[in-house]
Structures are given as C-alpha cells and as structure tokens.
C-alpha cells in the first residue's frame, strides 16, 4: 500500500494528517486522490461514510486550491448541516499548515449574516447544504463563476431529501469546465441521470463490491414475537453493559416511544429525530459523541451526519424496507478499522427478509438467542467480579476510611461480605429478571406459523373520530396505526368506516398501547379521539351507510400499499359467525 507522500500530497498536508493519526490512505483515498490530482476529469466515487471519503476529496482539493487567488475555487455540497460542519472541521484540520486558505461553512438554522461575512472575507472553499447555498446565490452573496471544483457529497442522500431542484439550480450557475466529483453510497437511477446531465465522461471509482457493507461488521439477528420486541431490546442492552450504539427505528413516533421507554427503564438513552429543534439535536449529538449517552434512538434521516467512529453496535429495532438502508445503518459501526455488530430484532415472518439481505449483501447473518434473565444476571455478575478483581485501589485515599469500615463490618465473614456486596449490586436486576420468560421463538412455533395455523387471538373493538367525511379508508387507517404505534406487528380485524367516525378491531393486548399512541395526536388538522367501543355499539349490521371492511389482518405497508403480513386469527371471539373474517 502506498503512503500519502507517494500519492502526491505536499508536506504541509502530510504533516497535518499525520498529527491527526492518518498513517496510510484508505482504499478509497488510494484510488480517488491520485485520480483527482492527476487529471481534470470528473469522478464518480461509490463510497459510504466511514470509508475516509471526506479526506478522499478534501485532501486533493486543498492541494489544488491556490490560496493566493482570493476567489471561491471549490464548492462542496452535502445533505445536512451536521455533515457540513464535519466536513468543514476536517478541511480546517487538513489545511492547518497552509497559510492564507479560507473555508466557510453555510447551512440553514444559523446566522446568515455571519456566513455572509465569512464569504466576503478571504474564502476559497465553501461547504454547504443546497438550500442555504442557493439562497446565498440568489441574494448575490455567493458567486460560483470562479469555481474549478464542485463536490457532491452523499449525492444519493441529497436526492432522497428532496434537493434535486436546488441542485439543478446551483449546478447550472457554475462554470461548465469545473471538475465535478460525485460521492454516493448508492447508485440509483436519479444519480446516474444527474451524472449524465452535469458531468463530462466521468470516471467511476468504487472500492470492493457494491453494497456489501463494511468488512468488519458482524451481522446478527434475534427472532421474537412482535410483542416482545422491546423486551428483547432491553435484554440485548443488558447483556452488553458497555454497549455504545444507535437504535434505528422507522418513524419519529417509534423513536420517541422507544427512547421514552428506555429512559423510563433506567437506560442511558436519548432520542434523535426531526422533531427536535436544532439546538436540541446539537446537544444530543454532542452528548452521544462524548460518550455521556450510551444509546441513541434515531431515524435514518436524523442520524445522517452523526460522525462517530467507535460504535460497538447498530440495532435495527425494525428492519428497513431497503437493503441499501440496512447497509448504511450497519456501516455506522465497524469503522476506521474497528469491529462492530449490527443487530436486527425481527419476528417470524421477517426471516425471509433476512435471507434476502444475506443473498444481496453476501454476508452471513447469525441467528442469536435472546438471553434469558438468568444468563444476563450471570454474565453481569461475572463482569462485576472481574471489575472488582481488576479495580485499582488508591491506598492513600481509602486508608483513612478503612478503620471505620472494618469496624462496622467486623462481625461478617468473607463469604457473608461477598454475598452481601453482590446482592447489593444485583438485587434489583435479579428481581427484575426473576421468573422472566424465554423470549426466543422455538422452531416448532415457527413451523406452525408457516403452516398457516392461526394463533388464538382476541380482538378489541375500538372507536376513532375519523370517517368517510375525513377521507378515511381502511388503508389510511392502517397507515395511521403504522405511523403512530411503535410496535406495529399486531393484527387488525374488521374495520367499519362510517361517515363521521369508524370502528376497528385490534389484538386486545395492543388496545392500551393504541389508546396511548393516538391520544392527543392531530391528523390532517383534526384532534384524534380514540376509545374502546361500547359493547354492541355499531356492529357491522348497523353500520349503514358506512362500509364494513374485512381486513386481511396484519400490517399495512406504506410503500407498496399492500398488507405485508397476511396472517391473522379468527378465533377467541364471542360471535364467530357474525364477525367471520376473510383470511
Ligand atoms: P469519512 O468516511 O470521511 O466519514 O471518515 C471516517 C473516519 O475515518 C473519520 O473519522 C476520519 O477521520 C477517519 N479517516 C479518514 N481517513 C483516514 C486514514 N487514512 N487513516 C485513518 N483514519 C482515517
């Protein structure tokens, strides 16, 4: 492997990166840096976060910029404010021994005046989010006519976040003979189209196989019943007391719900989602980065730009719909040469998705057993024993307290002392896990699931103050439940949509959760009221002129409009005949 001076970087840059601790170029740097330095060709680099992509474009950019020319020469566009700040800090560090080079970061949610001042005062490189960059161009404060380099970082994310129009506008105001460098973790059609429109015969560079994810990430999954998902999460956290990781959920509501439960249950966790204000987000990210928080419950979008290298775990509380999102998530651990574990908590009917992920990524996913309460207690007790064994004793500090302690505990034998010490530490834990059930799904349970044998379930009929008048359809109702209820793998029975309100049946054990999740929510400007329906109120024969719908049970998939999990139960009901369900 080459080193940085072999690939053509000047000594000032090498000195700076050596001080940061970069010894050798990463694979993407090895390919991209010489390509940028030796030609003016446009480049498409397929690289995920964690591969060293910032230095891959940042170092040659700094090398090629002329600090004596007092005009903007390089523009780096990226999807989020956090990533922008990260890139800005990296570039500042890389260029600290190059005199006269000015870098400005521009992004929304911060003072435009300060940014304008910085742009006017010796600025050769601008790092920014598309919205703010365009705003500044339109105000006449940012002139791109002199740029020679344009970097599109995390281009796929910028498109996912709806920046296509802004990008089109920005790209059309910059000189055609610029060198354009496009970095993207994935290569969807829209990126290929962008490359066609705005790049000149780009050279495509990628390292390793596409979409395989980081090499040093172990992939594991735990299979539990949907209702046990949260309990399984807690056990996973308990068996890894030093865990430092991100728990990914699909929706903001899920993240809020799970983090609230974790905090309530005494875990060192916080939420990161789009509902937080910018200063709240900054605060949470800072706490997480500095290690004051162990677990961050986040949506995919909110976690972008969070640059942490030493995560031990990524937990997929729910699997994402797309492989690429899974690869992105899992790539947040196992970075910068460290190893990491990507855990997915799934239920029986998601095992197919695991097989698909395995096939597409070429990685083996290891099925793990959810630890029993006993195993967790045992593991933690032994860890404590080890800690006691290896703890450093500061003789001087403790000496003055020892006589009093010894006197107080004089009557106890060594055995008694050990017993009491560990009980003191562990009583709460032991009590919590006493008689706790095994959460693992046994293989015979799975096969009965597959053979289509229905569980015995009982339904509760619920009221909601939305009806035909509010454009409520069964699919929309299932979508609402999907959006607001954290644990979504519950079954939905019969749905009766009436004019001004509706009724729907859900697994009885989920009724309290649904009440809580929908309480005080506003949907399409209407405050939601939900309640348990009164017995015999509006049974289906009374539902005219509204319609009665037979749900196929399961969970509505927002993307495809299909019911993804088409199993459901039909027993345990009072009036089987009247309420017969179609399956
Ligand atoms: P990135 O993909 O740019 O987000 O970089 C991921 C992490 O790897 C960052 O913390 C970088 O500081 C670090 N990094 C980048 N290049 C190197 C290198 N050549 N050697 C060691 N660490 C690096």
Please report the pLDDT score of residue 488 as a whole number.
58
Which strand (E) or helix (H) includes residue 29? helix 27-38
Closest CA to 436 of 219, 221, 239: 239
Q: How far is the CA of 47 from the centre of ligand 1 (A)?
A: 12
Please work out whether the CB of residue 336 comes within 6 Å of at least one atom of ligand 1. Answer: yes
Please report the pLDDT score of residue 437 as a whole number.
82
Please report the pLDDT score of residue 537 as a whole number.
54
Closest CA to 69 of 153, 126, 132, 146: 146
> Which of 2, 20, 58, 336 to probe ligand 1 with, by most ligand atoms within 8 A of CB?
336
10-residue mean pLDDT profile of the chain (583 residues): values are 81 93 88 91 85 93 94 95 91 95 92 93 95 95 95 89 89 92 84 86 74 71 90 92 92 92 91 87 90 92 78 92 80 74 88 80 85 83 83 90 91 89 79 80 55 58 88 80 71 83 85 83 83 64 40 31 26 30 27
Here the tokens at position 342 are 């990507």
Measured between alpha carbons, how far is 4 from 17 in angstroms, rounded to an integer? 9
Q: How far is the CA of 92 from the centre of ligand 1 (A)?
A: 14
Per DSSP, helices labelled H in 290-442 are 300-303, 323-330, 351-361, 373-390, 395-399, 402-409, 414-433
Q: How far is the CA of 336 from the centre of ligand 1 (A)?
A: 6
Please work out whether the CB of residue 135 comes within 6 Å of at least one atom of ligand 1. Answer: no
Contact 500, 467 (CB under 8 A): yes
Please work out whether the CB of residue 546 comes within 6 Å of at least one atom of ligand 1. Answer: no
Please report the pLDDT score of residue 446 as a whole number.
52
Q: How far is the CA of 9 from the centre of ligand 1 (A)?
A: 17
Q: Which atom of ligand 1 is nearest to the CA of 20?
A: 12
Please work out whether the CB of residue 53 comes within 6 Å of at least one atom of ligand 1. Answer: yes
The beta strand positions in 9-148, using DSSP E, are 43-46, 74-77, 103-106, 125-128
Q: How far is the CA of 331 from the centre of ligand 1 (A)?
A: 13
Closest CA to 95 of 132, 54, 131: 54
Please report the pLDDT score of residue 223 as a whole number.
92
Please report the pLDDT score of residue 510 as a whole number.
82
Please report the pLDDT score of residue 493 as a whole number.
80
Which residue has the least CA distance to atom 5 on ligand 1?
A: 52
Predicted structure pTM score: 0.49
pLDDT in tens, 57-108: 999 999 999 999 999 999 999 988 888 998 999 999 999 999 999 999 999 8
pLDDT in tens, 523-578: 777 888 888 887 655 444 333 333 445 443 333 222 222 222 222 222 222 333 33
Please work out whether the CB of residue 54 comes within 6 Å of at least one atom of ligand 1. Answer: yes
Angle CA(190)–CA(195)–CA(200) in degrees, nearest 5?
Answer: 165
Which residue has the least CA distance to atom 20 on ligand 1?
A: 22
């Amino acid at each position: 492997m080459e080193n940085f001076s072999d690939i053509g970087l000047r000594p000032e840059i090498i000195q700076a990166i050596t001080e940061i601790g970069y010894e050798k170029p990463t694979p993407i740097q090895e390919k991209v840096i010489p390509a940028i330095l030796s030609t003016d060709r446009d480049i498409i680099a397929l690289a995920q976060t964690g591969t060293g992509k910032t230095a891959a474009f940042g170092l040659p950019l700094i090398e090629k910029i002329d600090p004596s020319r007092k005009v903007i020469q390089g523009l780096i566009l990226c999807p989020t404010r956090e990533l922008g700040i990260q890139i800005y800090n990296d570039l500042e560090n890389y260029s600290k021994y190059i005199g006269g080079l000015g870098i400005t970061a521009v992004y929304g949610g911060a003072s435009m005046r300060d940014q304008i001042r910085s742009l006017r005062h010796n600025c050769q490189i601008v790092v920014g989010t598309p919205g703010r960059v365009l705003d500044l161009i339109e105000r006449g404060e940012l002139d791109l006519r002199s740029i020679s380099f344009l970097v599109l970082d995390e281009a796929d994310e910028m498109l996912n976040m709806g920046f296509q129009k802004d990008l089109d506008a920005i790209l059309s105001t910059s000189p055609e003979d610029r060198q354009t460098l496009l970095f993207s973790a994935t290569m969807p059609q829209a990126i290929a189209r962008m490359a066609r429109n705005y790049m000149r015969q780009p050279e495509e560079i990628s390292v390793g196989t596409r979409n395989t994810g980081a090499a040093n990430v172990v992939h594991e999954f735990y299979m539990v019943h949907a209702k046990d998902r949260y309990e399984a999460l807690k056990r996973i956290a308990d068996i890894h007391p030093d865990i430092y990781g991100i728990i990914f959920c699909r929706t903001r509501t899920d993240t809020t719900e799970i983090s609230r439960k974790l905090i309530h249950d005494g875990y060192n966790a916080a939420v990161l989602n789009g509902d937080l204000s910018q200063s709240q987000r900054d605060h949470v990210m800072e706490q997480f980065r500095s290690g004051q928080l162990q677990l961050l419950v986040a949506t995919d979008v909110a976690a972008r730009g969070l640059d942490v290298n030493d995560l031990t775990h990524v937990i997929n509380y729910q699997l994402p719909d797309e492989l690429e999102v899974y690869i992105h998530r899992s790539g947040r651990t196992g970075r910068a040469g460290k190893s990491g574990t990507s855990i997915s908590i799934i239920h029986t009917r998601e095992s197919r998705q695991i097989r698909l992920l395995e096939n597409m990524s070429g990685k083996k996913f290891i099925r793990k057993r959810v630890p029993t309460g006993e195993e967790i207690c045992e593991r933690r007790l032994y860890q404590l024993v080890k800690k006691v064994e290896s703890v450093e004793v500061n003789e001087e500090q403790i000496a003055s307290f020892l006589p009093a302690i010894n006197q107080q505990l004089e009557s106890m034998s060594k055995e008694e002392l050990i017993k009491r010490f560990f009980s003191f530490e562990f009583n709460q834990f032991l009590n919590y896990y006493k008689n706790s059930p095994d959460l693992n799904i046994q293989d015979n349970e799975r096969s009965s699931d597959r053979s289509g044998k229905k569980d015995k379930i009982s339904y509760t009929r619920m009221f909601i103050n939305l009806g035909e008048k509010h454009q409520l359809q069964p699919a929309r109702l299932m979508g609402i439940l999907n959006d607001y209820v954290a644990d979504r793998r519950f079954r939905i029975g019969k749905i009766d949509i009436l004019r001004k309100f509706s009724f729907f049946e859900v697994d009885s054990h989920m009724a309290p959760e649904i009440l809580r999740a929908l309480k005080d929510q506003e949907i399409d400007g209407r405050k939601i009221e939900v309640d348990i329906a009164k017995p015999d109120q509006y049974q289906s024969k009374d539902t005219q002129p509204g319609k009665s719908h037979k749900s196929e049970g399961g969970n509505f998939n927002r993307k495809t409009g299909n019911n993804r999990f088409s199993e459901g139960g039909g027993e345990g009901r009072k009036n089987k005949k009247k309420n017969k369900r179609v399956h």
